[in-house]
Structure 1
């Protein structure tokens, strides 16, 4: 049994979350691991326009999984299954979110395999992952805002019921293996994370072969629910270089791209990228940066994209007792593949994307408990891509603490 409490800060909106989990490591007396977790969260939302009935965000959810220490698949011989050194995991999740703008429910089920070639590498293959996004209620004020701005197509795609049927592969490698400690100053190491997933391909092929009719939005559906079709890839490289027993330099580079096609005109919101926050460019709050040179319009739902770039470098040093200090520089942004009216300047352009990379710098304090790291980071904007020229583009030369500083409280290292 485990219990966790956390504080949240989303673009200046404060909240709290709590979760309780239970785990049984020998459910059927064959080393099967069963887990169930309950989670709840609350957040006070500021800056809303008039016309909404409340100004808070509530969330609750439950997830469960059972892991079998063997490869399970129907119609295969037992000898073949025994030769494959993989574990099998089945999972179920349900999440309910209540916002002033809408109510959203997400139900999902998964079937995946995990295996390791060594203590340093891990593989995960999601054979089947099905998610159903259901919107039982959407505010008329929220809907009207999109219609008035001629953005009904964005509303239609992101705030209506949708089905995601995906499969994917994830690879993780850490050169330190099981010797890797939470205190990354202790050892030279590097890690690689790479993933690839796709959704909707089999269903689209069946819809074509059976000559299924499309809905009014030009989409194929399953049980009257449109399904998403896309491909998404991610890659992240991190390295830690030890200078001495008290000092180290760490850096990482991460990229990602998600491309909609076939049955989709856009990537489902829950699969899109965002920038800013405690694990991204720390001069901005979460979901406050981008896409591209888009300055934001007060609606965090518009600050998401299909392409992401992140890079950071940190100088980490032990101070005294359990305290560590850090100096960091971050860079990155997100972009959209297509040009959208509600995200002007957000489309990726090979000739100018490098001019839209944001930079930030700052200081951090970490409390290292070996099994857990509490992190406090303060980031300042250095280059703001929302401006093409002038003093506001280069806040590093004209710093304004109230305008450019962002505070982050998090658990664990940023990379």
Structure 2
């Protein structure tokens, strides 16, 4: 049985050896002429110190060939290509006088010509050149261009008298060299005095009130970046204090050398100039003073289409807004004005205009709005025309999926959704969706191999915080894009697991103070889970059945006449099997109630199996509330240096517990209170998730994630519901273990679905480019799950203090990704580096080879 795995591992080792042999045999100097030098490194040295700043090193024009984990992969791929495949083919074709004639008679002249363009002759060389990289030969002209860049860069930092040179340093290896760029900085120039020359009185007054925030200060070293930042600051300042038409080009600086300062202490005098507004007419350019503008009138054009004649529209006045519409107004006026932050008699603020764009777009009722700003005849008042074009009131979506997994041989899924906009006239959105999956199960031992799962959801979204008898506008202004979501959903399974039926209802609120922070509150989240076929537990959870059957297979039980009816009648004498469900439940009851004498170990093991069965088969009723806060500083999709953290707090069962003091609830045999015949869950749960990315250089990224989560049952519950528990392993967790296969703790009895109520996870991944859209990764995943403060008493599965941190599993591995621009497809191979389920002497590097690697497939990066 082991022979195929040995052969597989042997073949993998041979393949890796051959790959290494091919790559190392490549000659990096194959395309380097005798009088040329291959560039191997660059260094920038300023005043004797090596520069490590990536931004400064990016100024170097000519960089060495890229490397993948220290190996010049793309260079050697390029060197594998034929230098001139056309000439080589022609030389081969005419080497023998009649070769072309014989080929033409056998094929055809056209096919002979096509052969020269084929992939085997020419195509593969062109492909290798395309994905490869030419050798970087030292070019002194490009080196001098780098010196110019360095001189200009340090000049912008105030080192006006810097000097630059370079040295070509040959390596000990043949025809290879590095370049040292040497910069002598000299004394930096300091800003000695600041002055201003602002023509427009309004601009001058605004500047004086806000000059304390200036980036340019006396006695500070000259830095051109400060001047650019100050220009942006002033432009934003003026445009947010009424000067809607301010032009950044109006800002200039005069920089004068202080002729009285000595050479060792060079000083600068800086004068800020802000000119008047320049207007270009048909024949000349005129200037005028900048003025502070306020709004005289704000017009809202609802349901506007290009080409509409405003004179044919009806209008109404509402809270200092004029709303124009056709025939009838389909929106509540307040729903429109709440999304607009430009107000009559208030000064113009660019920030209000941007917030208006953002909020109207977020309504999901209108297309991107057109906001027009017009000066009136007084040149101090503005008229704003806001044109809103409605999106389609109804939209229908359809999706079809074909799936395959370890549960289903073949599954065909569909989903459909109908979106209705502006349901009640207040820009509300109603979404109705239905989904279904049908197919064949992988487990052919089940009575039926056909399964189905259907579900439906209804979601209603309000573009405001809806809370009776409480005004939330002051607490959460509309520019924070508040939303209220009311949803309800249900699903039904047949021939999947225990055939769950679920019902879920949510009342939630969401708002974002800015693009970097988000708050989400689910005031009420009700989840009801009903297990229809609880007797199928041991059919579904085969590992639990095996554990119980192994105990029941002992001679002391198989020979007991009180248990004989619990075994399958057609069993082999040496391989008895408990009947499901009568045999499994009967044997368990006989052991636990003492009908049959058992050993202490068997009693404990059977009680643990029964506890797990009861917990996973019981119906769940969860009344919970939760709050989630998310923050990140990612500036854009290409920002590879950012952080993100998320904190979540959840509490369940407290409302029902309070009501139990008012209304008499029934109790079950375990003294748990029942609501509609189901014991309600009571627990508190908290999670903290932190992600940090470091942009190293050349598209290399180091990514880190840490996760800590714990859910503590109390009151009416002794354990956390399965749907709220944690699991370890999987493509987004510890990739050396499959989902649900890690832990809890150091336990070695692997269940079908291992879960617990405490989780620690830490991930570190180094990502690097390989060739083209192919990316690579090296990763280390650490973590585990444990039981804590619940009814699990197995010491191997429980967290008992710092000593339990020794159960943290470590998986390491490598991954390959392909970037499709819109998403990333990835394959990861994880290796169990430290496995706490093994005995201590065999935990490190047990079965650490490709034959025992765990292959995980995922979409997009795991974190």
- Which of the five TM-score ranges fits, normalised by the shorter chain? 0.7 to 0.9
* Structure 1 pair 275–327 and aligned structure 2 pair: CA distance change class (3 A): same
Q: Does 1:340 align with 2:792?
A: yes
- Kept in 2, the 8 Å contact 1:229–1:261? The answer is yes
Contact 1:27 1:33 in 2 (8 A): yes
| Structure 2 CA distance for aligned equivalents of residues 13 and 297 of structure 1 | 21
Which one of 780, 803, 827 corresponds to residue 352 of structure 1? Answer: 803
What is the total number of aligned residue pairs between the two structures? 400
Instruction: Please tell me whether the aligned partners of residues 45 and 56 of structure 1 are also in contact (alpha carbons under 8 angstroms).
Output: no
Pairing 1:1-400 to 2, within 5 Å after superposition = 1=397, 3=399, 5=401, 7=403, 9=405, 18-22=413-417, 24=419, 26-28=421-423, 30-41=426-437, 44-45=441-442, 52-54=446-448, 58-77=452-471, 83=477, 85=480, 86-99=482-495, 101-139=497-535, 142=538, 145=584, 148=588, 149-150=606-607, 151-177=609-635, 179=636, 181=637, 186-300=639-753, 303-337=754-788, 338=790, 340=792, 345-391=796-842, 393-395=843-845, 398-400=847-849
Shift of the 370–97 alpha-carbon distance from structure 1 to 2, 3 Å rule, reads same
Change (3 A) 1:410 1:39: farther
Residues in 1 aligned to 2:422 and 2:811: alpha-carbon distance in whole angstroms: 49
Name the larger-Rg structure.
Answer: 2
Task: Say if 1:339 and 1:347, in contact at 8 Å, map to a contact too.
Answer: no
1:308 match: secondary structure:
strand
CA, structure 1 residues 227+405, in 2 after alignment: closer, same or farther (shift >3 Å)? same
Give 1:8 shift. Answer: 5.9
Q: CA RMSD in A?
A: 2.8
Give the Cα–Cα distance (whole angstroms) in 1 for the partners of residues 453 and 759 of structure 2.
27
Which consecutive residues of structure 2, in runs of 5 or more, have no partner in the other structure?
Answer: 1-396, 539-580, 589-605
Cα 1:126/1:160, change in 2 over 3 Å: same
Deviates more, 1:117-126 or 1:59-68: 59-68
Aligned-partner Cα distance in 2 for 1:197–1:209 = 24
Once the two structures are TM-superposed, the CA of residue 222 in structure 1 deviates from its matched residue by 1.5
Distance 2:716 2:430 in 1: 36
The 1:318/1:311 distance shift into structure 2, 3 A limit, reads: same
Gap regions ≥5 residues in structure 1: none
Name the CA distance, whole Å, in 2 between partners of 1:362 and 1:381.
9
TM-score by length of 1: 0.87
CA–CA distance in structure 2, aligned partners of residues 376 and 110 of structure 1: 36
Question: How far off its partner does 1:298 sit?
Answer: 4.0
Higher relative contact order, structure no. (Cα contacts within 8 Å, ≥ 6 residues apart): 1
Task: Tell me how far apart the structure 2 counterparts of residues 287 and 358 of structure 1 sit (CA, whole Å).
Answer: 14
Give the match's secondary structure for 1:329. Answer: strand
Paired residues of 1:276 and 1:289 also in contact (CA < 8 A):
yes
Shift of residue 24, structure 1, vs aligned partner: 3.1
Structure with the higher strand share, 1 or 2: 1
The structure richer in helix per residue is: 2
What is the CA deviation profile of residues 18-52 of structure 1, one whole-angstrom value per residue up to 9, with x for unaligned ones?
Answer: 45343637342544333344444567455x9x7x4
